[in-house]
Structure 1
Amino acid sequence: MSNARLTLISHPLCPFVQRAAIVLLEKNVSFERVDVDLVYKPDWLLALSSTGKVPLLKVERPNRADTILFESMAICEYLNETQGGVSLYSNNALSRAQQRAWIEFGAAALADAWQFLNAQDLEIAENKKAVFRSKLQRLENELDQVPYFSGSAFSMVDVVFAPLFRYFDVLSPVVSQRIFNNLPRVTAWRGSLANRPSVVSAVRDDYAELFQQHLVKQQAIVSGFIR
């Protein structure tokens, strides 16, 4: 197990930061979290980040220079490999490869959902909603166990999808029910993730309020359908 001191450089709404936070919490690792303003990025962030994005994980080890990790999945895999507790990947090579493939699928689903949520044009919103729902239907056909993607074991696939599903907990059921209607397995999975302690604690208490403010500022169509 690593004895490094860990600092997660973060933004309150970033779904990729949530991935790293969930893994840290699942592994029961002590860490410091530092939120930054991505509109007015501090010079120290730009000096640390190769991309100017978050998350970053600062790894401080005794008698060694600090290391900065970027890209959420690289951070998550580092934490999974160096921290204690149950691995968030299968021990079986074939199953592990399948999990990584579904993680990539989750990245594409997140992009579709984000474009839907931020759409200012009704036609674009409807198109992106349809594309996103088609991905949910693909997941519905894949899921055959509960409560998590692979059954009883919480995995890295769940880590990736939890921040995506969280968006729809902020919206009025008028919006979310139409998207998740007739998808009982995905809906049950979504509910299990929403109740997972690491998922709950991966965001600040004011997450819903901040996300609502974001949608209003974006003049997104769905901003009129907030809980």
Structure 2
Amino acid sequence: MNTDFLVKEQVINALQFRHATKNFDNSKKISEEDFNFILEAGRLSPSSLGFEPWKFLIIQNPELRERLKEVSLGAVSQLDTASHFIIILSRTDVRYDSDYIFKHMKSVQKMPDEIMEFISNALKDTQEARGIINNERALNDWSSKQSYIAMANMMTSAALIGIDSCPMEGFNYDEVENILKEENLIKGENWKPSVMVAFGYRKEDPKRAKTRRNLDEIIEFV
């Protein structure tokens, strides 16, 4: 059988398999090897100019999960039952001339000085064109949107190996941020909670089949 066909079939089957799991089987835990695979999918995810404006907090401490439940009404059952629970943080210090941007270009991307200057100017033009250059909230929103790419890749990768997941926005962002600061998990002012995602094994199958609009309703070739 054609290898390309098999790969395509595996991906589509994984996307059909995935659903927003509300209750996980808390007797089943994801192996270290499998969870590292999921995290690697997040690490390798694309971001604007490769600046990786995210951090993955894996919340396994039961006491911390209990605290988070009080301010995360959309994640209570997942905090109770998920094998692994992640809060993705997004950076606030992503202006074109920030220390973080230059440190990342130099230390991670290993760019020579002239390329760093070119990329910084290109990022400045982009941020000016989008009207976000002097707006900390808008800059963080830009980072936060990118964190969803990493989350989606982790969820799809999990589904490919039969692991369930659930993304969640149903939490009080300020209160979660306060808790993480109190726990010394957010240090300084350069991080904010972006989104939560839980991983584990479903306790029961979905009660109805996945529904989506037809392809011809959502695409238009121009």
TM > 0.5: no
TM-score, with length taken from structure 1: 0.27
- Structure whose CA Rg is larger: 2
TM-score, with length taken from structure 2: 0.27
Q: Which has the higher contact order (CA 8 A, sep 6+)?
A: 2
